Amino acid sequence: MLSKKMQKALNEQINAEIFSSYLYLSMTAYFEQENWTGFAHWMEKQSAEEYGHAMKIFEFVNEVGGKVELEAIEKPISEWKSVLNVFEESLKHELMITDKINNLYNMASTEKDHASGIFLQWFVTEQVEEVNTVEQIIHKLKMIGEHKGALYMLDRELGSRA
C-alpha cells in the first residue's frame, strides 16, 4: 500500500513524464518545421519513450492499490535558436527529471516502501542512459559547429533510431 505522500509524488512524476513527452513532441514539430527530419524522428521516438515512462508509473500506482490523479499538463516551449540549443534544453530537462527520480527513490527509502524503491531503480538506471545519450549528441554538435554537411550526416544518423 502506498502512503499518501508517495502516491502524491508518483502522480506528480506521471505528470512530469507526460510533460516530457509533450516537450519532445514540441521539439519534433520544431525540427520538422526546420526540415531536420532525422532529428525530428529521434525526438518523436523520445516523446513516445517518455509517454511509456508515464504509463509505467501509472500502472505501478494502480498495481499497488494507489489512486492515479492526473493534473493539467504545462504548455511546452516551441521555439529554439538552433539544433544545439534544442539538445541543450533537452539535457537540462533530463537533469531535472533525474533529480525528481532520485528524490522519489530517496522518499521510498525514507518511507520504507520497498516495492516503490525496487520499482524506481529501473528509472534511476534509465536516467543515467538518457543523460548520457543527450550529452553525447551535444558533444557531436559542438564538434560539428555550423558545418551543414556534418549536421546533415548527424541528422541522418539520428533518423535511424529504432
**Closest to 10 in 3D by CA, of 95, 77, 67:** 67
Range of the domain at 44: 4-158
Longest dimension (CA), the chain: 55
pTM: 0.95
Cα 50–chain centre separation: 5
Instruction: Say which CATH number the domain at 70 has.
Output: 1.20.1260.10
Whose grid coordinates read 525496487? 118
What is the domain count for the chain? Answer: 1
- For the chain, the DSSP string reads ---HHHHHHHHHHHHHHHHHHHHHHHHHHHHHHTT-HHHHHHHHHHHHHHHHHHHHHHHHHHHTT------PPPPPP---SSHHHHHHHHHHHHHHHHHHHHHHHHHHHHTT-HHHHHHHHHHHHHHHHHHHHHHHHHHHHHHHTT-HHHHHHHHHHHTT--
Note the pLDDT of residue 19. Answer: 98
Phi, psi torsion values for 34, nearest 5 degrees:
-90, 5
**pLDDT score, position 122:** 98
State the pLDDT at residue 1: 81
- pLDDT tens for the chain, 162 residues: list them: 899 999 999 999 999 999 999 999 999 999 999 999 999 999 999 999 999 999 999 999 999 999 999 999 999 999 999 999 999 999 999 999 999 999 999 999 999 999 999 999 999 999 999 999 999 999 999 999 989 999 999 999 999 999
